[in-house]
A = this chain, B = another copy of it.
Amino acid sequence: MAGSVNKVILIGNLGADPEIRRTQDGRPIANLRIATSETWRDRNSGERKEKTEWHSVVIFNEGLCKVAEQYLKKGATVYIEGQLQTRKWQDQTGNDRYSTEIVLQGFNSTLTMLGGRGEGGGASRGGNDFGGGGYDDYGSAPSAPSRSGGASSGRGASAPSGGFSRDLDDDIPF
C-alpha cells in the first residue's frame, strides 16, 4: 500500500494501576485502561452531558513498560501515541472474538505523563511524584510483538525516583 498511516492520540486518565505481565523470554508487556471523556451542553434541555470512552492500551516497548510500571498509577493523566490493532481470539465456546487495542510498540509510539491525580505515593501536586527530570516524551524503540507469556507482576511498592533514560538513542534532542 502506497503510504499508510495508523495513529491514535489519547489524553486521558488511568482507570486502574497498569498491569504488567512478562513474556516467557522476559520481555515486559503493560496494559493500561484509559478513560477519555467529552462534555457538552444539550441544545434543548440545556443540561450538561458527559460521555466516557474506555480504551485498552498495550505497551510492548520495554522502555515505556518501565515508565508505566514505575510512574503510572490509577488516576494518572497520560498522553499516548500508538496505533490501532484488532486482535482475534476465541472465547470459551470457541467462537471468534475481536478486541481492538491501542498498541505502543516501535517508533512513533509515545507515552508521556501529564500529571493528574494518581494514588498512593503521597503525591502532593497531583501525580508527578517523581524526582529529577529527563522523563519527557519517552520515545520507543521497536520490540518484539510477543503477546504470549505469563508471569504475573504485582506492582512494586517502589517509589518512583526520577531520572532514567530511553532505551535507545539517548543522546539526541529529538
Contacts and interface: CB of A to CB of B under 8 A. Distances in A.
Interface in A1-37: 1-13, 35-37
A168 B107 CA distance: 10
A108 B133 contact: no
A134 B9 contact: no
A136 B3 contact: yes
B107 A139 contact: yes
Given A42-B144, A42-B170, A53 B6 contact: yes
A84 interface: yes
Contact of A108 (B79, B103, B108, B171): B108
A3 B138 CA distance: 9
